[in-house]
Structure 1
Amino acid sequence: MFFPFKDDNPSLKSPYVTLGIIILNVIIYFFSISGGLYNFQTIVINYGLIPTELIHMQNLYSSPAVHPITTIFTSMFLHANLSHLVGNMWYLWIFGDNVEDFLGHFNFLLFYIAGGICAALIHTMFNPTSTMPVIGASGAVSAVLGAYMLLYPNARVYVLFFFIFIFRIFTMPAAILIGFWIFFQIINGLTSLGAGQQLGGVAWFAHIGGFFYGLYLIKFVLKSRMRYNKLEF
């Protein structure tokens, strides 16, 4: 198994927004589990994204907490368990600071939220009849990965490889690491379509949608900045 744990791409500014998002997700997670399993399940049903609710703009359950369209936003701050939370926040910590550096604090916040929204909509498009709540920051974090891959393809990422009793640390370019990751998401996404369900409970198309949103938005920003620089004299 491969596990990235840092990069050699220091940011020039303090990543206030990245850190703030991580802290907020941690607080919400521990609050959501503090009332026990039943309370947690109620929160997931009320604030998680349920595709068929979004398609029909109607709650499936009585006593809904929020309108289905609001869950596009609320779902990205909930996590199923501690490993789900740590995995998402770890990737955000490694790659988010540099993307925030490039976009600026406020623009990065907008970029992150829009990435999560885009991921939720793509997941819904591919699973319109699903009644399974979807939660997690994976879609927004995937947007960060897409942006990082385009901005810093040659940045070296330190990776821990471990298999049974074998442990190795090595570096690889970000483009290879993230490229392998998105390839894995696409393969599993296509497999889940063939199976007629979300394979393993993972919202693969949310990851894919978030990633390509990040990739193309940053590409647009880069082109806009190039055009602007040409106008300067």
Structure 2
Amino acid sequence: MFPLYDENPTRITPYFTYGLIGMNILVFLHEVTLRGARLEEFFQLYALVPRELTTNFAGEWTTLITSQFLHGGWWHLISNMVFLWIFGNNIEDRLGHLKYLIFYLTCGALAALCQWFIGMNSAIPSLGASGAIAGVLGAYIIRFPHARVMTLAFLGFFVTTIRVPAMILIGLFIIQNLISGVASLQTAANMSVETGGVAYWAHIGGFVFGIILGPMLGLFRRDDY
């Protein structure tokens, strides 16, 4: 299943959601122009490298923000931006532009710290908007628990669209990441070498912080229609 759009109307134009999508695309287009050592240097500068953050937090803390705008490939970028496009607009509508930006970046930074905590001595760069978007999903699921999302469904050779509860899509995302996250802890405990892969604990942390920070910033303000 691939989400297309949700059915909740908004009262404001989600400028910051559009802007964040645009910035992610522009940064990735710059990434694809880099090769070899230049790309590695770019990631070392702007991605979050846990070992570097551990040894020099004062000099590396900005990577908690910059790493949110980097992606490891076209599918990584597209899937993240689709989820941001579908679910971000309603959260921006409820929080307002500035609070939404603060919410988004804070969820992303805290999510990155969750992944850092799991592997403080890793030299593998951590990057992507997934943690921040997981925060958006956490806020969405508590604010719109009964919302439905128009979804593209692949049934063998046939493709159709169906309306699926947003809670199912988001729930599957979190369950998959929770299972994978626990498995990654077991793997790390049994191995003496570093392992890379998806930052599952950033996703889980972002989701939890989204649930916590959303209401604090006015997700349930009383002037809803």
Partner of 1:23: 22
1:46 Cα deviation after fit: 1.7
Closer, same or farther: CA 87–151 of 1 in aligned 2, 3 Å:
same
Displaced runs of 4 or more, over 3 A: 197-200, 219-226
Contact 1:50–1:131 (CA under 8 A) maintained in structure 2: yes
1:10 Cα deviation after fit: 2.1
Partner of 1:120: 112
Partner of 1:62: none
Cα RMSD, aligned residues only: 2.2
Q: TM-score, normalised by structure 1?
A: 0.87
Query: Following the alignment from structure 1 to structure 2, what is the Cα–Cα distance between the partners of residues 169 and 23?
Result: 27
Contact 1:7–1:158 (CA under 8 A) maintained in structure 2: yes
Deviates more, 1:198-207 or 1:10-19: 198-207
Alignment of 1:63-212 (within 5 A): 67-162=59-154, 164-196=156-188, 201-212=197-208
Contact 1:15–1:105 (CA under 8 A) maintained in structure 2: yes
Contact 1:188–1:199 (CA under 8 A) maintained in structure 2: no
- The C-alpha deviation readout for 1:49-94, integer Å capped at 9, x for no partner, is 0112111217xxxxxxx93222111111111111111111110000
Q: How many residues align?
A: 219
Structure 2 runs not aligned, ≥5 long? none
Query: Following the alignment from structure 1 to structure 2, what is the Cα–Cα distance between the partners of residues 199 and 192?
Result: 9
Query: Following the alignment from structure 2 to structure 1, what is the Cα–Cα distance between the partners of residues 90 and 158?
Result: 31
1:122 Cα deviation after fit: 0.6
1:216 Cα deviation after fit: 1.4
Q: TM-score, normalised by structure 2?
A: 0.90
Partner of 2:33: 34
2:215 to 210, 214, 219: 219
Query: Following the alignment from structure 1 to structure 2, what is the Cα–Cα distance between the partners of residues 68 and 123?
Result: 15
Structure 1 runs not aligned, ≥5 long? 59-65
- The C-alpha deviation readout for 1:126-151, integer Å capped at 9, x for no partner, is 11121100111110011001011111
- The C-alpha deviation readout for 1:153-183, integer Å capped at 9, x for no partner, is 1111112222542434211211222112111
Query: Following the alignment from structure 2 to structure 1, what is the Cα–Cα distance between the partners of residues 45 and 107?
Result: 21
Query: Following the alignment from structure 1 to structure 2, what is the Cα–Cα distance between the partners of residues 164 and 153?
Result: 30
Query: Following the alignment from structure 1 to structure 2, what is the Cα–Cα distance between the partners of residues 52 and 170?
Result: 45
Query: Following the alignment from structure 2 to structure 1, what is the Cα–Cα distance between the partners of residues 87 and 49?
Result: 29
- The C-alpha deviation readout for 1:185-222, integer Å capped at 9, x for no partner, is 10110011111188761000000000100011123445
